[in-house]
Amino acid sequence: MAGKTSKTEAKVTKKAAAKPATGEPTLLSGGNPQIAKGYGDAPVHAYIAAMPGWKSDVGHRLDVLITRTVPGVYKAVKWNSPLYGIEGQGWFLGVHCFTKYVKVAFFRGTSLHPLPPGQSKQKEVRYLDIRESDQIDEARLAAWVEQASQLPGERM
């Protein structure tokens, strides 16, 4: 079967062609960075560095605030989104880039006081969407992060 490629070879070739020649991560729909699954600071920092434009600054501020509020927080990138949690207890928060905002997902958000403003189709999840012109209320966000870190985490 000379001259033919297998489906697997075609997929690998297609994926390789989709990556920029610069070695920088591919930006998916809405500008969300495509970062390989991984645990710890390195993949989260790679995600933040790859966030486009003003979103990278927001990602950095979120990471610093979460790390300061929850010493020893466990970090990972899964499904092209940074996750924050307590090791052995699950994830309490996730971050995701969209075209016009950065979404912070509190997995047990309906238990937070006051409630984060964004509703979800998932029963317990609440969101905070941060747009470029928004002023981040760091005290309120830190309070939500602290509360969320003390609730049972989401297993993913």
| CA-wise closest residue to 108 among 73, 150, 74, 148 | 148
Per-state percent for the chain, helix, strand, coil, to nearest 5: 35, 25, 40
The pLDDT of residue 23: 62
Give me the pLDDT at residue 128, please. Answer: 98
pLDDT (0 to 100) of residue 17: 35
What does the DSSP assignment read for 55-124?
Answer: HHHHHHHHHHHHHHHSTT-EEEEETTEEEEEETTTEEEEEEEE-SSEEEEEETTGGGSSSPPSB--SSTT
Q: Which amino acid is at 90?
A: G
pLDDT at residue number 2:
47
The pLDDT score that the predictor gives to residue 32 is: 82
What confidence score (pLDDT) does residue 28 get?
81
Domain 26-149 has CATH 1.20.120.1200: no
Domain boundaries, the chain: 26-149
What per-residue confidence (pLDDT) applies to 7?
Answer: 47
The stretches in the chain having pLDDT less than 70 are 1-23
Residue 31: per-residue pLDDT:
79
Whole-prediction pTM? 0.83
Cβ neighbours, 10 Å, residue 149: 18
